[in-house]
Structure 1
Amino acid sequence: MQRALSFSNSPPLGVPLRFLINTPLFVLLAALLLLWAGPSALGSRWTGHALALTHLFTLGVLASAMLGAMMQILPVATGIRMPAPRLTAAATHLLLTSGTLSLAAGFLTVHPLFFRLAIPLLGGAFAWLLVAGFCGLWRDRRQATKGSAEILVATRLALAALLVTVVMGLLLAAGFVWPVPVSRLFTDLHSAWGLLGWVGLLVMGMSYQVIPMFQVTELYPKTLTRWLAIVVFVLLLALAANMLRDPLGGIEIGYTLAILLLLAYGAYAYATFRLLWTRKRPEADTTTRFWHTAVFSLGACFPVWLAQIITGADLAVTLGVLFIVGFAWSAVNGMLYKILPFLLWYNAQRDLDVALREVPKVKQILPDDVALPQYWVHLAAVAALVAASLWPAALARPAGLLLAASALWLGVNMARALLFYRRALKNIARALASRA
């Protein structure tokens, strides 16, 4: 049985839409940076180009998409509504977008001015989001939709991980301006909490709803949805405590905790792949293919990490590409092809008292045959980025070119859907006028 959905709780279209539109634009910016910087952006995780590229993706792309999805899915799937959604969305979007651009400029120029701008902008964006999110979770806790407990657990833990990530990130950014005593240890913890905590847990929680809903699968196993997010969060706490307790020692404990974290995400990848494999619709659509790429990339992180430990090679960039682009961005890109048409369809008919044939069907807004070519370009870009992380001198710029093509293609498809929606609204208005 599918979870009950409260579509009457949907926020105005502009609340999630402004965040979703950010995604192809920031992917394109990341691709252009890769084309300009070349091997320097993928040769090491510590270069200014690599740090700018990483944060364009994690903040400009993933944070934007996940905030939009969270503001839309949370009230519908769980009954939890953020206070003042229009104001929260507008302020958070403005602060996040401008703060991300300032931070990327700071990494590229190492000029303190850009970090001075980025710190209050990003701090303000996430402070507003966290306060609004936790206020909504507390205010509507008694009205939460039955059966949504697992989504709420993952969301609460993701927001807690975001708080840890933001505090560490602001301290690291402050180190570029003031003599703040931070070490590389904070960078590793910041990455772990940001990717495995905030990004991973929120994708996990959202997928508990969107995979069964849009892919027509069974629900995730109850044991997994009840405990997996908690296990991941506890392991992150233990990893942080071990690193802070003994930065130079505790290596064996750290390796054990890292293996357990990877196994936890491996369990999620296996469960998701199994649901997709046994889905009730035998023909895989474009979103299904994106999810296949996402779970394969997530699963590939484990052997790559083991290879790094066994051989002593530095494969941190490869792991970052697999998790950020291969897993998280593939999942988000695929969900856009379901969430955006559904939002546009729902808002086209939400205030109508009568059924009109002018209201388009969901599949008409963004047909699968329009979306599929962009998937193949995206897949080629992911493969090229993984290869470029190993041979950056030869492949960094070709990978950037494929990534730019994928971003442009996605942007065109989203623009096409929005134009189709505007035409549909005009047709609906004419039909209503003729009935008056």
Structure 2
Amino acid sequence: MSMQTGLSFEQAPPFAQPLRFFLTAPLFLLAAAVLIMLAPTALASRWTLPALALTHALTLGFLAMAMLGALLQMLPVVAGAALPASRGVAASTHFLLAAGTVALMAGFLGADARALAAAMLLLGCGFAVFLAATAIGLRRAVASATVTGMRLAAISLGLTLLLGMALASMRAGGWTPAKDEIFVAAHVGFGLLGWILLLVIGVAYQVVPMFQITPPYPPRLMRWLAGAILALLLLHAIAPLLPAATEITLLAESGLAAGVLVFALATLRLQSRRRRKLPDVTLDFWRVGMASLIAGTAVWLLARLWPAWAGSDAYPLLLGVLFVAGFAVSVVCGMLYKIVPFLAWFHLQAQLQARAGSIPTMKDMIAERAKRWQFRLHLGACMLLIAAPFWPKLLAVPAGIGLALSAVLLELNLLSAVRRFSRHGGRFS
């Protein structure tokens, strides 16, 4: 069964494998929201222990959880390459990632070296299992721009993991290099712009035209963008060790800013040309994400023109909020609202061989009004989070409340699709 040329839905894994990731992700978004409410200093400086716990609750607990689930689903369907032992890989990765993220948050919040060591072991094993299986799957994958994006994102994830392990070892007292800021900058760069952005770019090449009924991305853009971003990230990581480090760093950052801007503008242009002009909340999530990328680029440019702003506590926090909450969380919410209803419909159709009208359509799996309310809550939370670095004592708690309500409604909405799937006789494995 195929919905679009080049897709192999007959190789799709059982619904339970990606679903466990998708249903766990909003719980970590809720945990991040509660942390903001209980520790407003998380939005006062990027170096506070609550800020470090918050960052990893969002990037590991929510984003990585949802993105690994999406990869489990997309690798066999888009790349035609099933993961080896996918049932065991999914179960072990899910447990190790969830437990490791909880241990890491506890280690940061309690300044506990034992919890950090446990987190290193759990996350290291979880990502190692997933990356090994992904490497085997991608080695035999059918070449495409999406597969290239996945490969480069997986490389970035591996680098992020190694750098994160080194940083956790430093914090646990294992060793202290002369220039630990180099490790921090590389870990952040490969994690955000390498792993998250490159995977979103690769997935966007497939899901934006497919689900949003737009023309395809320009072939030239699909050929060079992901590779150029990874090359610039590598240059940025080694720049401090080279002569003319300041100039090389600025060159790499300028190239990365241009790449981010090109992707955001190209996506918005395609969405403006979509063939179906009906209201779509998923489209709104993506537009918020692309607007946040553009705003983040403007914030970075302002910091280059105004050095005093670059040295403030608010600057890195604002940049992080725009990228993580404004861009990544928005896009992942939008993707979940397409992927989960589609999988519920697809597996019902495949299992029951149902006639049209006898099972819910994709659109019926989650009520449009409920999705729209969650979007409004998410947008309100983002606006508060963007302002919170300037007035953390005043706005952190309202931002946390808004994010918590958004996370709860996201979970309930995804569960409503699961209930409809189950009510119509769907089997999860």
Shared fold per TM-score greater than 0.5: yes
Structure 1, unpaired ranges of 5+: 429-436
Question: Following TM superposition, by how much is the alpha carbon of 1:274 offset from its aligned partner in structure 2, in angstroms?
Answer: 0.5
Q: For the Cα contact (< 8 Å) 2:293–2:327, is it kept in 1?
A: yes
The letter for the 1-side match of 2:283 is T
Question: Within the alignment, does 1:282 sit opposite 2:285 as a pair?
Answer: no
The letter for the 1-side match of 2:39 is A
The answer for the alignment partner of 2:349 in structure 1 is 349
Please point out which of 173, 180, 189 is paired with 1:192: 189
RMSD: 1.6
CA deviation vs aligned residue, 1:67-124 (integer Å, no higher than 9, x gap): 0111111211120211111110000000000000000100100011101110110000
Helix, strand or coil: the match of 2:425? helix
Question: Within the alignment, does 1:23 sit opposite 2:25 as a pair?
Answer: yes
The letter for the 2-side match of 1:241 is I
Helix, strand or coil: the match of 1:425? coil
Q: For the Cα contact (< 8 Å) 1:49–1:107, is it kept in 2?
A: yes
Going from structure 1 to structure 2, the CA distance change for 1:87 and 1:416 (only over 3 Å counts) comes to: same
Question: Within the alignment, does 1:159 sit opposite 2:168 as a pair?
Answer: no
CA distance in 1, matches of 2:364, 2:138: 35
Question: Within the alignment, does 1:204 sit opposite 2:201 as a pair?
Answer: yes
Question: Following TM superposition, by how much is the alpha carbon of 1:358 offset from its aligned partner in structure 2, in angstroms?
Answer: 3.1
Q: For the Cα contact (< 8 Å) 1:358–1:424, is it kept in 2?
A: no
CA distance in 2, matches of 1:354, 1:45: 52
Runs ≥4 residues deviating over 3 A: none
Question: Within the alignment, does 1:67 sit opposite 2:68 as a pair?
Answer: yes
CA deviation vs aligned residue, 1:348-370 (integer Å, no higher than 9, x gap): 12123453743221111113222
Please point out which of 5, 9, 14 is paired with 1:12: 14
The letter for the 2-side match of 1:257 is A
Q: For the Cα contact (< 8 Å) 1:2–1:212, is it kept in 2?
A: no
Pick which of 337-346 and 176-185 moved more.
Answer: 176-185
Structure 2, unpaired ranges of 5+: none
Going from structure 1 to structure 2, the CA distance change for 1:354 and 1:97 (only over 3 Å counts) comes to: closer
Pick which of 1-10 and 204-213 moved more.
Answer: 1-10
The answer for the alignment partner of 2:238 in structure 1 is 241
The answer for the alignment partner of 1:111 in structure 2 is 112
Q: For the Cα contact (< 8 Å) 2:182–2:237, is it kept in 1?
A: no
Question: Following TM superposition, by how much is the alpha carbon of 1:284 offset from its aligned partner in structure 2, in angstroms?
Answer: 3.0
Q: How does 1:50-129 map to 2 (within 5 A)?
A: 50-129=51-130
CA distance in 2, matches of 1:268, 1:260: 12
CA distance in 2, matches of 1:211, 1:187: 33
Q: For the Cα contact (< 8 Å) 1:175–1:181, is it kept in 2?
A: yes
Aligned residues between the structures? 418
CA deviation vs aligned residue, 1:142-169 (integer Å, no higher than 9, x gap): xx2xxx5101111111010111100000
Q: For the Cα contact (< 8 Å) 1:70–1:206, is it kept in 2?
A: no
Question: Following TM superposition, by how much is the alpha carbon of 1:306 offset from its aligned partner in structure 2, in angstroms?
Answer: 1.7
Q: For the Cα contact (< 8 Å) 1:3–1:77, is it kept in 2?
A: no
The letter for the 2-side match of 1:109 is G
The answer for the alignment partner of 1:267 in structure 2 is 262
Going from structure 1 to structure 2, the CA distance change for 1:287 and 1:356 (only over 3 Å counts) comes to: closer
The letter for the 2-side match of 1:307 is L
CA distance in 1, matches of 2:217, 2:366: 27
Using structure 1 for the length normalisation, give the TM-score.
0.93
The answer for the alignment partner of 2:38 in structure 1 is 36
The answer for the alignment partner of 1:338 in structure 2 is 338
Helix, strand or coil: the match of 1:179? coil
The letter for the 1-side match of 2:401 is L
Please point out which of 211, 216, 222 is paired with 1:214: 211
CA distance in 1, matches of 2:202, 2:279: 23
Q: For the Cα contact (< 8 Å) 1:388–1:396, is it kept in 2?
A: yes
Q: For the Cα contact (< 8 Å) 2:348–2:354, is it kept in 1?
A: no
Work out the percentage of aligned pairs sharing the same amino acid: 42
CA distance in 2, matches of 1:266, 1:284: 25
CA distance in 2, matches of 1:3, 1:101: 41
CA distance in 1, matches of 2:100, 2:393: 31
CA distance in 1, matches of 2:90, 2:235: 34
The letter for the 2-side match of 1:335 is M
Q: For the Cα contact (< 8 Å) 1:2–1:219, is it kept in 2?
A: no
The answer for the alignment partner of 1:433 in structure 2 is none
The letter for the 2-side match of 1:395 is L
Going from structure 1 to structure 2, the CA distance change for 1:354 and 1:19 (only over 3 Å counts) comes to: closer
